[in-house]
Structures are given as structure tokens and as C-alpha cells.
Structure 1
Amino acid sequence: MSKKPIVVGSVAYDPKIVTIWDIIRDYFNDNGVRLDYMLFSNYEAQIEYLLSGKIDIAWNTNVAWVRTYELSNHKAQALLMRDTDIDFKSVFIAKSKSNIKSIQDLKGKKFGLGSADSAQAAILPLKYLQNELGENIKDIELIRYNSDLGKHGDTGRSEFDVLEDIKNGKLDAGAIGISTWVRILEEGLFPAGEIESFYTSVGYCHCNFTVLESLDENIKKTFVDMLLKQDPNDPIIKKMMQLEGLNKWVVTTQTELKGYDILAQAMKEQDLIKNNW
């Protein structure tokens, strides 16, 4: 084993994160590669630790990736992501009987946005509304639900706050991530047919393992190779993948990187590049 462990940062938005990273750490160590992890209460702290070289790799949201890339003067690199991080989408929802069938129907309505640092529930939905409506966005009453700030929407709590207020009539419509929408449909969290989607965004990319370009190439290669070699049929690995919400790890290529372009544009327009820790 190497003397110094590869140190990976992850944000502890849920108790399951400890289980996920214990499994990944043990997998690496059992295969002769020392790895340890550091947990953070928010992405802003994790970004600071990566930029200052206190951790080698950060398991980042798309917002944390864009911020790291910009603040490092484009000296950051995305190594790897989940298959489910590709083609992520935002969904706009309303009560089925509301007669809201498109973004144009939102004029004069109350529209809920999730946590201000959530790409899927706030940053990109605002961008999509601006793209569609231009100056007429002022005709919509935007209501923000800033729960769990610092977690970049990982907990999904703000999305369920939006859903709840659509259900009880405080909102006419709102934005959530596709994973939350799928969960609602699969688990029957709301009465069938009560809420429907009227807009689904184009696909974009979500999380990735971020490093600084200056990190030793051998560490980068070892980390990527080890994750790609994981056997999803191994019961322990399967458990980790289910908890982390993936079927397989995939290498981040130029194609996937294009999936962050619209978010980078939106974050610059909304003055969200600065890392306020």
C-alpha cells in the first residue's frame, strides 16, 4: 500500500453517506490502495479544502464543480461521475386541474423555486424561465424555499416544500429535479393524477469527482481505475451503488462537460460563482 492515503471529500447531507464511504474506503484498502474520506457540512467548505490542497478529490455537485472550475482559473478537472448524473433534468409541476400547461401560462401565478444553491430546483429553473419569458418574468411571483442551504439541493427538502405548497394551494406551480419527480410517481407520494408536469428541461449533468489538474497523474488514474473495476454484482458494492443512486461509474469526457455549460452561464448571470464560506 502507498504510505499516504488518497483523501476524498464528500458532503454529509444524509447519514447514509458514512455507509457509502466506508464501503468505498474498504474496497480501495482491501485492494491495496490507501484511501480515506473527509465529510463536510457544506459544499463551500469542501471547495475551499480542494482549492487549498487539503483534500485530493471532491465529490461535487454541478454547482460545486462550476464554482471550483471558475475559481481555479479553469485548472480543475472532472474525472468520473455516476451514469445517473448524465442527462439530469428539471421538471415544472402544477396541479392537474390548474390549467397551467406551459411556461406562458405562469403569468400572474405563484411559482416556487427550491434552495438558492440547487441547480435543479432554483438556478436552472430561473434560467429557463428567463429564456422563455424575457422581461415578462416579472409577471410571475417567484417564491423561494431556502431549506438546507450549503447542501446544493442534495437533501431534496426544498423540492418537497414546493410540492407541499402546490398541494395546499399556496403555490400555483414550482420546480423540482427529475429524480424527485420519479420518486413521487414510483412511490405514490401524492394521489395519482393530482399533480402533473408541464415542462421538462433539456438534459444537463449533475455530480462529478473533481480534482485540481496539479494532482499527481498516478493518483487520478488509480482512483478512476479502482472505481471502474467495481463489480455491481458484489453484494457490498451493489448496496453502495443503490445508496449512491447509480448503476455504474462513467468517465467524464468532453461530451459530459458540455452538460455543465448552461449552469455555468446561469451561475455567472445570477452572481453565484463566489464561494461564500
Structure 2
Amino acid sequence: MNRLSTIRLRHVLLGCALAAFSAYSAAQQVLRVTTIPEEAATEQVRKFGPIASYLEKKLGMKVEFTPVSDYPAAVETLVNKKVDLVWFGGFTFVQASIRSGGKVVPIAQREEDTRFQSVFIAKTDSGIKTLADLKGKQISFGSQSSTSGHLMPRHFLLQASINPEKDFRRVAYSGAHDATIASVVSGKVDAAALDITVWKKFTSEGKVDTKAVDVFYTTPTFFNYNWSVHADMPVDLRNKLQKALLDIDPATPEGAEILKLNRATRYIPTTPDNYKGIEAAGRSAGLI
């Protein structure tokens, strides 16, 4: 190839690169956000609306929050780059990482997510006081893809030599933590497992009578939720987004509202290695 042809080729390649960049930049005028549906869609919108407004100001771009119908949908939307930012549970992050070939990147988690726990609840007059008392009972988990509502409770049951499929009379899946609580309150099931922060929220707001339904077992700690992006997101935007999350200040009215709604004291950095334990639990339980 002569020198003139080489120069022309470089110009063509540069033009293609600039066109691709411009197309991406135009598309990236909107940051698309979603979350796993751990609670009802209306509650998700209420909880994440203020953080979307905050990110708009910090990033200088429009932020659109759209709830998804189920946990697998949250995984697929980020893997396929239909959204840019997702609030994952530890298990859905692991699923997304595996589905994408390691191209899903966690950028921030709540400080609380370094020592997360699940709780098992039952009616106080049920006679259920220990995990062993669950044998022969009807038990509900949340979504099958939930970390705190299924995977880790199942993991700790298996460690206690209790196999849900063999030892429970029936295993149900409510789909969300609030529905899990309702299933015990209504008597549809004898006991259930869920996210400790959702339980504390419901009890603090007086939505559950703890004289009638209460916790009888709390699990050991584990890593849980995070905000994740796709590795193809421009590094500059990823860094700005991470900084914006880490900069949410509890000393300001805006920051205090966001953190209260997100049941957080603050956001801190996180890495994929923090979720190796979740992946190991998933494989051990036969869920991966």
C-alpha cells in the first residue's frame, strides 16, 4: 500500500471512529437506570426518584428510571446494554457478570452491604423457634434470583442440614420482600425469609405487628447489593457516575433524603471480588 493510500485509509478509519463516538454520545444524553424489583414498582419509583434527580444535576444529563418486571429482566437489560446503571443484589450481580463474560462492573455499594443479613419470620404463636422447626412446614422465599430473599437463606439452611425441597411441605416464591411478609401475615405460609432492611423498614413504619409476626432467626453476614454498569460505558462517564454516588452527603437535606430512602448511611466503592462468596454459595446450592 502506498503512502497516499495509507493516509486515505487513516482518514476513513478516523471518520468512522468519530461517527461512532458521535452516535454513542448522542445516545448517551440519557442515562437509563433500573433496579431489581425487590418491592412494588410504586415503591421503587418513590425510592429511586430522588437519586435520579441528583444524578441529573451531577452528570449534566437526563436520567430515566424505569422499573422492570422481575429480577432476570434487570440482569438482561444491563447485559444487553438496554440500560446503563442497575441496582443489583449480590446474586443478580453474579448472574449478570457470568452472562456478560465478566463485562458487568460494580461501582458502588452501601456501607451496610458489607455486612448484610437475612431474617426468617413466622407467626409468634406458630411454635417455630429454630430453623429445625421449619421441617414439614410451608415456607416462602422472595424471588428465586434474590440474594437475601432466597440464595443466602437457602445457603444457611443447607449448612444446617435442611434441604428445602426434601424437608419442607411446600416451597413458595413471592417475587418480592413486601409480598413475602404479606404471605406470613395472611397465613398463606408458615414462615419466610427476606432482606433484613426491608423487615426493619416495615416494623419501624408500623406495617407489621411484631406481637403477631416476628423474626426467629437472623443469618450470618454476607456482601450484598451494588450499583453496576456495563464495561463498555466510557471510563470518564463511569468515573463521574461513581464519584457522584460516593459524594452523596448525609449532611445535606438532599443527601439525607436519598440515603434514607435507599436505607443507607453512605455509598462506598466495591469490587467484583466482594461477591465471590455469593457466587460460591450459588454454585453450592445448585443455582448457578
TM-score strictly above 0.5: yes
CA contact (8 A) 1:159 1:180 kept: no
Match of 2:34 in 1: 10
Q: TM-score, normalized by length of structure 2?
A: 0.74
CA contact (8 A) 2:59 2:241 kept: no
1:114 equivalent to 2:135? Answer no
Q: 1:163 aligns with which of 181, 184, 202?
A: 184
CA contact (8 A) 2:44 2:67 kept: no
User: Would the alpha carbon gap of residues 120 and 24 (structure 1) be closer, same or farther in structure 2, given more than 3 Å must change?
Assistant: closer
Match of 2:10 in 1: none
Match of 1:56 in 2: 84
User: Would the alpha carbon gap of residues 119 and 25 (structure 1) be closer, same or farther in structure 2, given more than 3 Å must change?
Assistant: closer
> How many angstroms apart in 1 are the aligned matches of 2:59 and 2:190?
55
How much has 1:204 moved relative to structure 2? 1.9
Match of 1:39 in 2: 66
CA contact (8 A) 2:203 2:209 kept: no
User: Would the alpha carbon gap of residues 177 and 142 (structure 1) be closer, same or farther in structure 2, given more than 3 Å must change?
Assistant: farther
TM alignment of 1:115-264, pairs within 5 A: 115-134=143-162, 138-147=166-175, 153=176, 156-165=177-186, 168=187, 171-253=189-271, 257-258=273-274, 260-264=275-279
Q: Structure 1: which amino acid aligns with 2:161?
A: L
**Over the residues paired in the alignment, what is the CA RMSD in angstroms?**
3.1
Per-residue CA distance 1:144-188 (angstroms, 9 max, x = gap): 0434xxxxx3xx2331233214xx4x5433222212332344344
1:67 equivalent to 2:95? Answer yes
How much has 1:78 moved relative to structure 2? 0.7
**More moved, 25-34 vs 51-60:** 25-34
CA contact (8 A) 1:227 1:249 kept: yes
How much has 1:97 moved relative to structure 2? 3.9
Match of 1:150 in 2: none
Per-residue CA distance 1:19-41 (angstroms, 9 max, x = gap): 55554444344346325234142
SS of the residue corresponding to residue 92 of structure 1 reads: strand
Match of 2:19 in 1: none
Unmatched 5+ residue regions in structure 2? 1-24
CA contact (8 A) 2:91 2:151 kept: no
User: Would the alpha carbon gap of residues 215 and 132 (structure 1) be closer, same or farther in structure 2, given more than 3 Å must change?
Assistant: same
User: Would the alpha carbon gap of residues 85 and 220 (structure 1) be closer, same or farther in structure 2, given more than 3 Å must change?
Assistant: same
How much has 1:82 moved relative to structure 2? 2.0
Q: Structure 1: which amino acid aligns with 2:81?
A: G
User: Would the alpha carbon gap of residues 190 and 120 (structure 1) be closer, same or farther in structure 2, given more than 3 Å must change?
Assistant: same
How much has 1:262 moved relative to structure 2? 4.2
**More moved, 119-128 vs 191-200:** 191-200
> How many angstroms apart in 1 are the aligned matches of 2:125 and 2:283?
37
> How many angstroms apart in 2 are the aligned matches of 1:91 and 1:129?
12
> How many angstroms apart in 2 are the aligned matches of 1:196 and 1:19?
26
SS of the residue corresponding to residue 77 of structure 1 reads: strand
SS of the residue corresponding to residue 184 of structure 2 reads: helix
**More moved, 219-228 vs 232-241:** 232-241
User: Would the alpha carbon gap of residues 246 and 46 (structure 1) be closer, same or farther in structure 2, given more than 3 Å must change?
Assistant: same
**More moved, 262-271 vs 201-210:** 262-271
Q: Structure 1: which amino acid aligns with 2:42?
A: P
> How many angstroms apart in 1 are the aligned matches of 2:43 and 2:263?
12
Q: Structure 1: which amino acid aligns with 2:89?
A: T
CA contact (8 A) 1:113 1:122 kept: yes
Q: How many residues align?
A: 259
How much has 1:261 moved relative to structure 2? 3.5
Q: Structure 2: which amino acid aligns with 1:161?
A: A
Q: TM-score, normalized by length of structure 1?
A: 0.77
CA contact (8 A) 1:112 1:173 kept: yes
Unmatched 5+ residue regions in structure 1? 148-152
Match of 1:265 in 2: 280
SS of the residue corresponding to residue 160 of structure 2 reads: helix
User: Would the alpha carbon gap of residues 263 and 35 (structure 1) be closer, same or farther in structure 2, given more than 3 Å must change?
Assistant: same
